[in-house]
């Protein structure tokens, strides 16, 4: 998203939009997939609903104040708001490294319930 400010050829923006579309698809589904592995199945609907509030409320807040913020911080230069969004996407991608997914497909439980790597379970 931040590279939009560097592109001068309008046709090259199509490549950017493909990348943003892939990132957006991941943004929409991966948080729920990560969360689903850590929730008890009986209360999953409740926790998913609460989690959805933490996604929707910041979006509503951003929609309400981003125009004012752009005028104040960037003198109305909306391109800088896109650059800020791109930087936020990079930061979010880096923070995902620290997320521990409890529902990893490459791990299986042994007879005692302990988790171990799939290769060790097969051997």
For residue 5, name the pLDDT band (cuts at 50, 70, 90).
Answer: confident
**With 60 as the cut, is the pLDDT of residue 108 above it?**
no
The pLDDT tens digits of the residues spanning 27-79 come to 888 888 888 877 888 888 899 999 899 889 988 998 999 999 999 999 999 99
The per-residue pLDDT for range 14-41, each reduced to its tens digit, is: 988 898 888 888 888 888 888 887 788 8
Q: At 115, phi and psi to the nearest 5?
A: -85, 140
Average confidence (pLDDT) over 80-107: 80
- SS3 of 52-84: the string is HHHHHHHHHHHHHHHHHHHHHHCCCCHHHHHHH
């Amino acid at each position: 998203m931040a590279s939009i400010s560097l592109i001068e050829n309008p046709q090259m923006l199509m490549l950017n939009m493909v990348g943003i579309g892939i990132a957006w698809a991941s943004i929409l589904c991966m948080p729920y997939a990560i969360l689903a592995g850590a929730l008890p199945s009986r209360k999953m609907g409740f926790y998913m609903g609460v989690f959805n509030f933490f996604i929707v409320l910041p979006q509503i807040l951003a929609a309400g104040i981003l125009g004012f913020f752009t005028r104040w911080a960037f003198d109305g230069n909306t391109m800088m708001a896109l650059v800020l969004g791109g930087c936020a996407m990079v930061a979010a991608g880096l923070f995902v490294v620290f997320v521990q997914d409890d529902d990893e497909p490459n791990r299986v439980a042994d007879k005692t319930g302990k988790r171990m790597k799939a290769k060790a379970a097969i051997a």
